[in-house]
Structures are given as structure tokens and as C-alpha cells.
Amino acid sequence: MSDDTIQPGFFRFFRALFYGFCRLMFRLEVHGAEHIPASGGCLMASNHASYMDPPLVGSAIRHRAVRFMARGTLFRFKPFGWFLRKMGTVPIDRDRGDLSALRKGVRLLKSGRLLCLFPEGTRTMDGRLQEAKGGIGLLIAKASVPVIPVYIDGSYRAFPRGAILIRPKKVNVYYGKPIMPDELPELRDGKPDYARIGQLVMSRIAALKPPQPR
């Protein structure tokens, strides 16, 4: 298997397994999956509140394989690193500007893949949205593909940072309308405004958050 190819049988088996688990454990409901194009390069950008976020976001997409970008430290445990690579996950070094990982992300998107990342870079401590890391703006500007904002509601209640046990809380995943390349902030001094691109993406993610009961 090359770096750009997911083994179909392996991926489909675990996607079905994760989806079944999420439906049973979290009563998972999916909203707006029709916004994800059937083909062509596309980036999904999601909030990040739990270790459960990748299977919640990825397993609900039935018509395409979803790749993720994840922090490189997750690959240090060799069996888990092997699994992540089999699922097409791209490791990224959060502690420095990992240009090689960003270049690979751009290459995957330009070659027609569906890629998901978490612009905040790490799980929230309190359930609230954080600012986007700088790399998201660069990746979006270079790839020039539709960006699907995603909001996961409930994963923080189910398995927050620091928790030991997963709780069977209700989870909804909302996929928003795509942000098209022509919507990106205009050039500033001849260069894309990466910070404003990140802010735009986070604002579209925040707009998907459902009203909270009082």
C-alpha cells in the first residue's frame, strides 16, 4: 500500500465497526452529510473536544474514505501507529512548523482526497472553541479546495480530556455548507492572510453549534 492509498477492505471494516459503536454508545445522529462532495479534493475542519472525535466524524461518511491529520506522538506506540497508517492518517508535529506534513496534506487534497483535521490542534480543556493554529490557513490557501466546517456536539460530555471512562452521552455531528476557495480572505501584501482564513473557518464551525437548553 502506498502512502496515498487506503486499503479498502481494512478501512471499510473499521469504519463500520466505529459507526456501530458510536450509534450504540452515543446514539449518534448525523446532519448535513450531503454537503460533502461525492468526489474531488475536500477538507473537513472540525472542533476538537475528545479522543472520540475522529471516529465520530469519519465513520458517519459512507460514500468516501476520510483521512485525518493527527499529532505525531500518537504514532509512537507501534501497534497504534501501524493502525493509524493503515487508516491513511498523516502524522504532524504540533510543536514546530511541520511543513512536510502540510505539503503532504496539500498533495492529498489536490489529488482528490477527502482530508479531515482539527484546526484547534488539541482537545479543548473546557468544551469551548479555541483559536485555530496557524497551519490551517496555510494548508487551505495552498490546496484551494472546498472546506467543510464540522461541529461535534456531545463528545466533550461523553469523553472529555482527562476522563478515564467513556460515558454514553448523546452526540450529534453537524456538517456545514462548504467554504469555497473564492470566499477566502483577499491577499494581503501579495500573500494570503492565513490568520483570517483560520478565523473564518472557526467562525463557520461555531455557527453550526446548536442552541444549548437553558
Domain that holds residue 152: 26-207
- State mean pLDDT over 186-211: 86
Q: Where residue 3 falls among pLDDT bands split at 50, 70, 90?
A: very low
Closest CA to 192 of 147, 134, 121: 134
Buried b (16+ CB within 10 A) or exposed e, 189-201: eeebbbeebbbbb
Burial of 42 from C-beta contacts in 10 A (0-12 / 13-18 / 19+): buried
- Whether 12 is in a domain gets the answer no
Residue, of 191 and 2, whose pLDDT is higher: 191
Can you give the pLDDT at residue 2?
37
Total Cβ atoms within 10 A of residue 144:
15
Assess if residue 183 is contained within a domain: yes
User: Mean pLDDT, the chain, as a whole number?
Assistant: 90
Average pLDDT of 26-45?
96
In this structure, the strands spanning 147-153 and 172-175 are antiparallel
113 belongs to a structural domain = yes
In a domain, 44, yes or no: yes
**pLDDT grade for 4, boundaries at 50, 70 and 90:** very low
* Structural contact between residues 37 and 146, judged by C-beta atoms closer than 8 angstroms: yes
Looking at mean pLDDT, say which of 59-73, 89-103, 153-167 comes out highest.
153-167
The arithmetic mean of pLDDT across residues 94-110, rounded, is 83
In-domain check, residue 21 = no
Confidence tier at 5 by pLDDT (50, 70, 90): low
Q: Is residue 4 domain-resident? A: no
pLDDT of residue 101: 86
86 within domain boundaries: yes
pTM over 0.75: yes
Task: State yes or no: pLDDT of 192 exceeds 50.
Answer: yes
Q: In the structure, what pLDDT confidence band is assigned to residue 189 with cuts at 50, 70 and 90?
A: low
Rounded average pLDDT over 118-122: 92
Counting the structural domains of the chain, the total is: 1
Q: Is residue 10 part of a domain?
A: no
What CATH number has the domain bearing residue 122? Answer: 3.40.1130.10
44-61 pLDDT, tens digit each: 999 999 999 999 999 989
173 contacts: CB under 8 Å, gap ≥ 6: 28, 29, 30, 31, 56, 57, 60, 150, 151, 152, 153
Nine-digit cell at 89? 492518517
CA distance 135 to 67: 17
Give me the pLDDT at residue 8, please: 75
